[in-house]
Amino acid sequence: MDPEPFFYKLSYASAFTAHMADRVNESIMDQSKHLFELNHIQTPTRSASIMIYLYEHGAKSLTEIARDYVQQHQLVASRVTPLEKLGLVERYRDPDDARRNLLRLTEKGKKDAEKIVQVSKLIATALDEIFKQTGIDLMSGLLEVEKRLKRPHPSDRPGTISKPREK
């Protein structure tokens, strides 16, 4: 059994939630990368959801993708760039509005996206089994925590303090 991180036993361990989330994220990404390699998927794991998005929704602008992702434009752009370099996604002018650039999967990208969907279903099944075993609906929990964190900053919430008390 893996040892618990030192901070887990602290009375304020929840302050390290982001650290634990990063650790879980890295474990999932490492295992996903291994599955991608086994299935000859060229897409970097961090860009897989963009491939699925374009596969499911067709051509979209970077702004539309960022909006639907509820993520910053720059983050989405950083995930698209490697896909373009690999020839999985291409950018082109919107024929109805020359001011807009759209992104779409290439034929090579469509084949990769189909494999990503299949592998993602396997990953989801494995994670759902872990969630069932632990009694933790992690996805729902993370979505709820994210919603609550988007409320006023913790230091602005009633009952909190803005800086540590002096000893």
| Distance separating alpha carbons of residues 75 and 78, to the nearest angstrom | 5
Strand partners, 101: 93
Give the single-character DSSP code of 40.
Answer: T
Asked if residues 105 and 88 have their Cβ atoms less than 8 Å apart, the reply is yes
First-to-last C-alpha distance (Å) of the chain: 38
* CATH number corresponding to 16-136: 1.10.10.10
Residues in the chain, total? 167
Longest CA–CA span in the chain (Å) reads: 65
Q: Give Cβ neighbours of residue 86 (< 8 Å, ≥ 6 apart).
A: 42, 43
pLDDT tens string 55-71: 999 999 999 999 998 88
What per-residue confidence (pLDDT) applies to 101? 94
Asked if residues 148 and 86 have their Cβ atoms less than 8 Å apart, the reply is no
Strand partners, 102: 92
Domain ranges of the chain: 16-136
The parts of the chain modelled with pLDDT lower than 50 are none
User: Does the global pTM surpass 0.75?
Assistant: yes
What per-residue confidence (pLDDT) applies to 7? 80
In degrees, rounded to 5, the angle at the alpha carbon of residue 54 between the alpha carbons of residues 49 and 58 is 160
What per-residue confidence (pLDDT) applies to 158? 57
What per-residue confidence (pLDDT) applies to 102? 96
Q: What separation in angstroms does the CA of 15 have from each of 3, 37, 157, 159?
A: 19, 35, 16, 16
Residue with tokens 């009694």: 135
